[in-house]
Chains A and B, each alone.
Chain A
Amino acid sequence: MSTIRRSLIYVGLMALIAVLAVASLSAGKVWIPWSGWLANKGDPAWAILFELRLPRTLLALMVGAVLGLTGAALQGYTRNPLADPGMLGVSSMAALGAVLTFYMGTVAAGIWVLPAAAMVGAAFGVLLLLLMAGATSSVVTFILAGVVIQTISGAGVALALNLAPNPWAVNEIVTWLMGSLSDRSFDEIKIAAPGMALGCLLLLTQGRTLDALTLGENGAKTLGVNLGRGRLMLAIGSALAVGSAVAVTGVIGFVGLVTPHILRPLVGARPSALLLPSALGGAVITLAADIVVRLMPAASEIKLGVAMAIIGGPFFLALLISMRRKLA
């Protein structure tokens, strides 16, 4: 992969982000014309631009980057192109933590309650993961542990819904679980940014380990790579990043699955080369999807998480079929 081609891909992705960001600020139920950008504070156009759409746009970029990067890192670690942040069980455990605050009604106690609970949930998921798969470095054990954690968190969410004290709590939980970027403010960004940034940094430092894993676990070990530490860094990194993201947007799936896939033929298959482009690509896909969702002529806005699931499900299926054909 030549340096020129890689630079072109970076430039292309950044340009896409810039174009989409402008579109995202302008588009919605109310179109903001160019003149709106110069409106005075207090003007409705100013409020829509800077209080509603700017935080929504920034959050879409941040969450998308986190999901794309985590997806690429997890696919590299598991050497499985079907891996996704959801696979570790981190997303679903974060969701369970958040849902419990709805269930217990503590969500009203303060703006920090839900994010804190989501991060605790994510950390708990990581802890379970390390307890179950920490002693070995087997990828299969790791993935199975993820499946177990997802099952547990799914059961927890179902139980919370089942025992919910009133229909409003159920409504609130279900709405939140669907995952959305609407009506977010700079408060959410402030809450999520530190965890996302730290998590992403941790993930980006693991490129060498991910590359070495191309040779399998034994191959990587004999290359002098400390797999135990790599796994710990990946687990902490994805817990911080995905936990923070889930805390402010709910569960948005498939970005982590789809993004590395689209980019792999362009950037090359080397896992470390895929990390940063996947972050940018995830931001592009999430922001584009959010704009489309906003413009859908539906009675009530389709939630981003739902839209991603509708697109991602068939994509996942197609991927599985093509992989099966390759393996057979």
Chain B
Amino acid sequence: MTDFEARDIAVRIANRGILKGVSARFKRGKVTAIVGPNGAGKSTFLDCLAQLRSPQSGTVTLGCKDLGRMPSRQRARQIGYLPQNAEIAWAVDGKTFVGLGRTAYQSAWGLSHDDRAHVEAAMALTGTTDFRHRVVSSLSGGERARVLIARALAGQPDWLLADEPLAGLDPGHVLDVGDLFQELAHQQGYGIILTLHDLAAAIRIADRVMVLADGQIIADGLPLEALSPEVLRRAYGVESRLLDGASGPVLEIIGRDR
């Protein structure tokens, strides 16, 4: 059993229920997108999965082991996490930055030969080898997004958790980065869990969509099934329909549900 599982996660912040008993099970080799209106608790849920926040109740397990009790270093080797609006504090080059992904393996003496090999491999896999001597904060949004993913992959995790990884990218880079996520899941076997606000991107990228609204999961399944007109009306208060597009079904948001 290598499933990632959350059971009855409840989080209250300042007496407001952010998550009201959320349970979900994730499988490797798939891209799962968590969508939902602003303030629905997507990021909070992802934070609970990554153990950045401990819920008031509920457990998160990875392969039947309680993640909350796992030593943080061991946990870091299994879960790569990409924060929203990733902070890059110093003007470090691509290689140094991706090398940070080896922190959970590194000894006091710096990166080993093995560490360097994994850094190289992660950069090759994400097509970022050219950026090894470029300062990461000076890269364009799409380039930076790939370097951030390389950093997470350098730690050889089984799971990749990303909070709004497509926010702020232009449509071309959304496709590029989306394809990269799909490739990583389908060909390399990573389990990928993303929060997304862009429903069209979710349909295109994800194998499975979970809709979180008001602290609860109101739909979970194949993208087009989960994002049905009833669900979208309930979650976002909008009327929608599916159209046939050139590259597959297209979700049209018709208007506000009045």
Chain A, 259-274, CB within 8 A of any chain B CB: 268-271
B108 contacts across to A, CB distance below 8 A: 205, 207-208
Q: Which residue of A lies closest to B72 (CB)?
A: A224
Q: Is the CB of A222 within 8 A of B100?
A: no
- Min Cβ gap B122→A in Å is 14
Per-residue CB contact flags for chain A residues 217-232 toward chain B (1 = under 8 Å, else 0) read 0110111111000000
- Stretch from B84-92, B166-174, B182-190, B194-202 at the A interface: B84-92
B100 contacts across to A, CB distance below 8 A: 211-212, 214-215, 223
B79 contacts across to A, CB distance below 8 A: 222
Report the separation of the CA atoms of residues A5 and B108 in the bound assembly, to the nearest whole angstrom: 21
A79 contacts across to B, CB distance below 8 A: 87, 89-90
Per-residue CB contact flags for chain B residues 70-93 toward chain A (1 = under 8 Å, else 0) read 011111110111010011111111
B106 at the interface (CB under 8 A from A): yes
Per-residue CB contact flags for chain B residues 32-48 toward chain A (1 = under 8 Å, else 0) read 00000000000000010
Q: Is the CB of B83 within 8 A of A219?
A: yes
Please tell me which one of the listed residues B75, B87, B92 contacts residue A216 in the complex, with CB atoms under 8 A apart: B87
Q: Which residue of A lies closest to B104 (CB)?
A: A224
Report the separation of the CA atoms of residues A43 and B155 in the bound assembly, to the nearest whole angstrom: 65
Report the separation of the CA atoms of residues A221 and B101 in the bound assembly, to the nearest whole angstrom: 12
A248 at the interface (CB under 8 A from B): no
- Min Cβ gap A305→B in Å is 30
A219 in contact with B87 given A208-B103, A269-B92 (CB within 8 Å)? yes
B47 contacts across to A, CB distance below 8 A: 218
A225 in contact with B89 given A216-B83, A219-B81, A268-B96 (CB within 8 Å)? no
A218 in contact with B83 given A208-B106, A223-B104, A223-B155 (CB within 8 Å)? yes
Q: Which residue of B lies closest to A81 (CB)?
A: B90
Report the separation of the CA atoms of residues A208 and B91 in the bound assembly, to the nearest whole angstrom: 17
Q: Is the CB of B75 within 8 A of A215?
A: no
A219 in contact with B76 given A212-B103, A270-B96 (CB within 8 Å)? no
A213 at the interface (CB under 8 A from B): yes
Q: Which residue of B lies closest to A223 (CB)?
A: B103
- Min Cβ gap B86→A in Å is 7
Q: Is the CB of A215 within 8 A of B86?
A: yes
Q: Is the CB of A270 within 8 A of B92?
A: yes
B83 contacts across to A, CB distance below 8 A: 215-216, 218-219, 222
B88 contacts across to A, CB distance below 8 A: 214-215
Q: Which residue of A lies closest to B74 (CB)?
A: A224
- Min Cβ gap B248→A in Å is 34
B139 contacts across to A, CB distance below 8 A: none
Report the separation of the CA atoms of residues A28 and B106 in the bound assembly, to the nearest whole angstrom: 49
Report the separation of the CA atoms of residues A205 and B83 in the bound assembly, to the nearest whole angstrom: 26
- Min Cβ gap B207→A in Å is 24
A226 contacts across to B, CB distance below 8 A: 72
Report the separation of the CA atoms of residues A224 and B73 in the bound assembly, to the nearest whole angstrom: 4
B50 at the interface (CB under 8 A from A): yes
Q: Give the A interface residue count (CB, 8 A).
A: 22
B4 contacts across to A, CB distance below 8 A: none
Q: Is the CB of A214 within 8 A of B89?
A: yes
Q: Is the CB of A219 within 8 A of B96?
A: no
Q: Is the CB of B52 within 8 A of A221?
A: yes
Per-residue CB contact flags for chain A residues 76-92 toward chain B (1 = under 8 Å, else 0) read 00010000000000000
Report the separation of the CA atoms of residues A284 and B171 in the bound assembly, to the nearest whole angstrom: 52
A215 contacts across to B, CB distance below 8 A: 83, 86-89, 100, 151
B181 contacts across to A, CB distance below 8 A: none
Report the separation of the CA atoms of residues A269 and B100 in the bound assembly, to the nearest whole angstrom: 13
Q: Which residue of A lies closest to B107 (CB)?
A: A208
Q: Is the CB of A214 within 8 A of B90?
A: yes
- Min Cβ gap A210→B in Å is 10
Q: Which residue of A lies closest to B93 (CB)?
A: A268
- Min Cβ gap A193→B in Å is 24
Which of A219, A222, A226 counts the most B-chain CB atoms under 10 A from its CB? A222
Report the separation of the CA atoms of residues A224 and B87 in the bound assembly, to the nearest whole angstrom: 17
Report the separation of the CA atoms of residues A205 and B81 in the bound assembly, to the nearest whole angstrom: 25
- Min Cβ gap B149→A in Å is 13
A211 in contact with B89 given A218-B83, A225-B72, A268-B96 (CB within 8 Å)? no
Report the separation of the CA atoms of residues A218 and B87 in the bound assembly, to the nearest whole angstrom: 9
Q: Is the CB of B103 within 8 A of A225?
A: yes
A216 contacts across to B, CB distance below 8 A: 83, 86-87, 89
Report the separation of the CA atoms of residues A225 and B72 in the bound assembly, to the nearest whole angstrom: 7
Residues of B at under 8 Å CB distance from A? 47, 50-52, 71-77, 79-81, 83, 86-93, 96-97, 100-101, 103-104, 106, 108, 151, 155
Q: Which 4 A-B pairs have the closest CB atoms?
A: A224-B76, A216-B87, A269-B90, A79-B89
A/B interface sample: 8 pairs, CB < 8 A: A208-B108, A214-B97, A215-B151, A219-B83, A223-B101, A224-B104, A225-B72, A268-B92
Q: Can you add 19 more A-B contacts, CB < 8 Å, to A216-B87, A222-B79?
A: A207-B108, A208-B108, A211-B103, A212-B100, A214-B100, A215-B87, A216-B86, A219-B81, A219-B86, A219-B87, A221-B72, A223-B104, A224-B71, A225-B72, A268-B93, A268-B96, A269-B90, A270-B92, A270-B96
